[in-house]
Structure 1
Amino acid sequence: MNTSTDWFASWFDTNFYHILYKNRDHKEARLFMANLVAFLNLKKNDTILDLACGKGRHSLFLNSLGFNVTGADLSENSIKYASQFENETLKFVQHDMRIPFKNKYDAIFNLFTSFGYFENDNEDIQVLNNIKNGLKTSKSIAVIDFLNVQKAVANLVKEETIERDQITFNIKRLLKNGFIIKEIEVVTESEKYTYFERIKYLDLPKIIKYLETVGLTLQYTFGDYDLQKFDVNSSNRLILIISK
């Protein structure tokens, strides 16, 4: 099967992706971001980079809290959609996270498993280096919201079918060559397509090694969107609070 490194460049730019995931719990996501900004003690008008912002829904929410937000995403279609919401303190740019940022920020958020996409470890490390260089000062904070891979693999649903908007999504999951792979067969009335998602199996010790490589410091870990303590066996998320 073809699980190209740049699977995200094609999959995220399709309408099918947004249809499959349109029922995500956005209320929970907004609560998470509200919890984050309170914990981090961010101030009104602080600058935030929402890295891998998708269609900008969470950038919009952060902006509504009084922050100066830039949303960045690789998907041309997502940025085109998000740009309609721009204002003086909310901007959107198309950007590959492997490329250094032009500006520096008080906080950089990489949320909802938008990390670990790349085949080569050096590319993940390059992203972290860009995040480090994109932070204004040693007091600036980065947040990476990743999945708890140990629990995800232990509870892996190998096959399921989802019906949505008269489209059938046949989904298979497996762990292979250090990646959690999701094969998504999309069946419409007249066509059939296959896409992939590939998330690197990054546990906490490996991520810490990544951070040490670029000179970032792990300050806190949390295991859910209520910012409860991370537990490798029970937590759904691995949320990292990082500084340089």
Structure 2
Amino acid sequence: MSAWYEKSFGDDYLLVYKHRDLQGAYEEVKRMIEWLRLPEGSEVLDLCCGMGRHSMALYDFGYKVTGVDLSGVLLAEAHKLDKAGHVRWLQGDMREVPLTETFDAVVNLFTSFGYFDADEENERVLREIQRLLKPGQGKFIIDYMNPEYVKAHLVPYSSRSEGSCTIEEKRRIEDGCVRKTIVIQEPESDARTYSEQVKLYGKEEFVRMLERAGLEVTQVYGDYHASEYDPAESKRMIFVGHRKG
């Protein structure tokens, strides 16, 4: 049986998340650059790059960019976006990235962490980030949801239309995870159902995992406006730091 993330990031994902735009990614990257403080020409890895919005913005700001994602469908969209081939796109699992070189920075954005049931598997991702960073200077950004905010503001059910499609989303928290079930219904066809899951790690636990992986946190922001992280109010939990040693 396939894991949820092997099924969910296909053609229907493009329908469910079509509202994500390039301008938003551009503004987020603009802020990330201030946090990373890297010179133009630095090599940046976008780990779990999806459709490539942030990767392309990073390129536009003058970086050499590599985007890695498991989904062939999303990488095909990235290639469409990158008609001139400015970014190197690779298919791979974030627990075992098919690269041997190191980077000036690794970014992992839009809650592309916590996909696996076992803590050990999620920590493998952090060890890969450490491995892929240049010793002594490699920096990272991990943009993750704020679990306290998620628990307090979870919307159990929502429904919307996209053309002739109806998209229903049910959300719940169980077994230390936030889980979403997505049902897509089109006229005269069977409903298509997908699952999404992210393990909920609080700030202290996340920092401990990063430290075990050889990564040091220098700042935790609550959003892309560089607001200080507030457990009750922040929607995001954005870790910025560097490789130890």
TM-score scaled by structure 2? 0.93
Q: Are 2:220 and 2:237, in contact at CA under 8 Å, matched by a contact in 1?
A: yes
Does 1:91 find its partner at 2:125? no
Aligned to 1:220: 219
Give 1:42's match in structure 2, choosing from 38, 48, 73: 38
Report how many aligned residue pairs link the two structures: 240
How does 1:173-188 map onto structure 2 within 5 Å? 173-188=171-186
Q: Percent identity?
A: 32
Q: Are 1:86 and 1:92, in contact at CA under 8 Å, matched by a contact in 2?
A: no
How far apart are the structure 2 equivalents of 1:60 and 1:80? Answer: 14
Q: Give the gaps of 5 or more residues in structure 1.
A: none
Give 2:66's match in structure 1, choosing from 61, 70, 85: 70
Deviations, residues 167-226 of structure 1 (Å, cap 9, x unaligned): 111111100101100111111111201111101011101101211221211111000011
Which SS does the other structure have where 2:40 is aligned? coil
Aligned to 1:133: 131
Deviations, residues 146-183 of structure 1 (Å, cap 9, x unaligned): 01011111011001111112111111110010110011
Give 2:119's match in structure 1, choosing from 118, 121, 127: 121
Which SS does the other structure have where 1:212 is aligned? helix
Which SS does the other structure have where 2:155 is aligned? coil
How far apart are the structure 1 equivalents of 2:103 and 2:83? Answer: 18
Q: Which amino acid aligns with 1:51?
A: L
How far apart are the structure 1 equivalents of 2:165 and 2:85? Answer: 39
Aligned to 2:103: 105
Aligned to 1:20: 16
How far apart are the structure 1 equivalents of 2:191 and 2:150? Answer: 28
Which SS does the other structure have where 1:112 is aligned? coil
C-alpha distance 74-151 of structure 1, shift in aligned 2 (>3 A): same
Aligned to 2:153: 155
Deviating beyond 6 angstroms after TM superposition, the runs of 4 or more aligned structure 1 residues are none
Q: Give the gaps of 5 or more residues in structure 2.
A: none
How far apart are the structure 1 equivalents of 2:100 and 2:4? Answer: 26
Give the superposition deviation at 1:89. 4.7
Give the superposition deviation at 1:77. 1.6
How far apart are the structure 2 equivalents of 1:40 and 1:184? Answer: 35
Deviations, residues 93-133 of structure 1 (Å, cap 9, x unaligned): 00100104322100000001100000011111110000001
Deviations, residues 35-89 of structure 1 (Å, cap 9, x unaligned): 1112221111100001111111211111011100001100012223323426575
Q: Are 2:25 and 2:57, in contact at CA under 8 Å, matched by a contact in 1?
A: no
Structure 1 window deviating more from structure 2 (157-166 vs 123-132): it is 157-166
Which SS does the other structure have where 2:39 is aligned? coil
How does 1:187-206 map onto structure 2 within 5 Å? 187-189=185-187, 190-206=189-205
TM-score scaled by structure 1? 0.93
How far apart are the structure 2 equivalents of 1:7 and 1:208? Answer: 26
Q: Are 2:222 and 2:236, in contact at CA under 8 Å, matched by a contact in 1?
A: yes
Q: Are 1:51 and 1:110, in contact at CA under 8 Å, matched by a contact in 2?
A: yes
Q: Are 1:181 and 1:196, in contact at CA under 8 Å, matched by a contact in 2?
A: yes
Q: Which amino acid aligns with 1:64?
A: D
Structure 1 window deviating more from structure 2 (16-25 vs 85-94): it is 85-94
